[in-house]
Amino acid sequence: MILSILTTNAALNARHSRPLGLLCALIATISAALSGGCAGLPPGADHPRVASVALVDPKGTKLGRQFADSAEAHAAMSGFRILPVGVDGFLTRVQMIEAAERTLDLQYFIFRGDETGHLITEALMRAAARGVRVRVLVDDGDTQDGDERLLALDGQPSIEIRVFNPFAYRGHVELIRAAEFLFYSRRLNYRMHNKLLVVDNAIALIGGRNIGNQYFQMDPESQFADDDVFTAGPVVQLLSARFDEYWNSPLSIPAAALGAGNHSASARAAPAKPLRGLDSKGIDYVAMLKSDEPYAGMISGRLPLAWANSQVVCDSPDKKDVENGARRGRLMAPQVSQAAALVQTELLIITPYYVPAKREIQLVETLRGRNVRIAILTNSLESAPSLLAQAGYSGYRKPLLAEGAEIYELRALLGSTRGSGQTARISRFGNYSLHAKLFVFDRERIFIGSMNFDQRSKRLNTEIGLIIDSPDLAGQIVARFDAMTRPENAYVLSLHDARSGTGRNIVWDTVEQGKPLEYASEPARSWWQRLTVRLLTLLPVDREL
């Protein structure tokens, strides 16, 4: 992670040309961290706070009554509907917030202060104004300038914001953040990667999407394909219990302890901007909100839910202490691995990053030894959001292919938008990238959640998700997998004998403009991108990825 942050921050913005001011800020930051960092706790850990829990009786709300009755009619199972379309993820969030009567609980790794983030923030303010209790827990590992608008809401009536494992420095000068990380990497390397929204302890939205334009596939510069699952029924109360555990953790610091009140009132009152670059192309997302779809369809039953048994899988908020045996708690990765180990015929993996540990490599070998089909969809070098993670993944391709696993790498410019979660209009910019985290077990069960198939998700991030026993949902994901792995949308990897006779090399097959193409060298946006990844493969950072 240290190398990752230094790589990310290597090109510092030349506009920060006041070295004395930077030095003073750096000294103040380190002093603040030293004074408040006892026992590995973040700054502000001693700030007064009041423990709180989810709504005790959700049946006192309209949604609670409706889905309690529905669950009873379905043998106490829970209802689910997958939302593969990015825009639907945005619309459903706002519409769920607007429907809240008593409580709203939000937990996110990233909550951007861009157009969609602002619109969701405004919906939270409206909910609080009508008396809904709003609790928002956000991580502090990937904040950007403007994201602090959310923290500025803390202290308003009915709104409380907490920050998980925060930095002492609250500005956005990359050099200062990187310096603080170097001094306190053991604590700051530990991040909360969870994504969860719960309304009235009756319905929830869980999956891989953060809050921000690119996560809803609205930004021409970057679209992250992902999935949420709308959830109703008894499992929601289990998700709320996990939220409460994180909310009341010593690592979750009240925004007031971080000086959130110092932000100007103008940050709270700034008007929402039009969605960048999209209104001009005839898409009015604000108008789409007024239709109440797809939320209204799911609530009315017109868009039916799949009712099934399910299991919440989640790391404890003090996962790092559970990992090293210092404390009892839950670890999520072993539960997902156990489900994978039980498959008999097929394991499908959809993940933006694939950096397996030794145990996962052994699992692949064991499953292939039983002739289980293993098919992996991940990012290509063209579509990779992180070149460092791509470098870590690249060395595992040959062994996987040699074992008989199938590997498909998603292209940044799609030949077909079927299954992509977005329109051809936005896809034509060629900035498509995979962000979903899904497993399909024997086409009978699925995992959906926040966990990437990499060592960071297993060791350094907290995660949450659901394992759902539903052939219906499994079939939907398989159909999307099949659409996205077609040659016009992905590179199909295979091993061919090298002409020199010295071994086997990877070949990338695809279809461009209706014509089959075969690449003997890894497709990339530029020679520089390819060279950068080759250099990064020399770094021993797999455990940080």
Q: Give the residue numbers marked as catalytic.
A: 193, 195, 200, 435, 437, 442
Buried b (16+ CB within 10 A) or exposed e, 485-501: bbbebbbbbeeeeeeee
Q: DSSP letters of 66-101?
A: HHHHHHHHTTT-EEEEEE-SHHHHHHHHHHHHHH-S
Could you tell me the two tokens for 87?
A: 């825009």
Residues 6+ positions from 38 with CB-CB distance below 8 Å: none
- How crowded is residue 538: how many other Cβ atoms within 10 Å of its Cβ? 8
Q: In degrees rounded to 5, what are phi and psi of residue 501? A: 75, 15
Q: DSSP letters of 224-284?
A: EE--EEEEESTHHHHHHHHHHHHHTSTTEEEGGGGTGGGS-HHHHHPPPPPPTTTGGGT--
With beta carbons less than 8 A apart as the criterion, state whether 343 and 349 touch: no
Can you tell me which residue has the tokens 């942050």? Answer: 5
CA 111 → CA 121, 142, 226, distances in Å? 10, 9, 16
Could you tell me the two tokens for 262?
A: 């110092």
Can you tell me which residue has the tokens 């003090």? Answer: 318
Q: Largest Cα–Cα distance in the chain?
A: 73
Can you tell me which residue has the tokens 């928002």? Answer: 136
Could you tell me the two tokens for 540?
A: 């021993």
Residues in the chain: 545
Q: At what angle do helices 333-341 and 358-369 cross, to 10 degrees?
A: 10
Could you tell me the two tokens for 103?
A: 């409580």
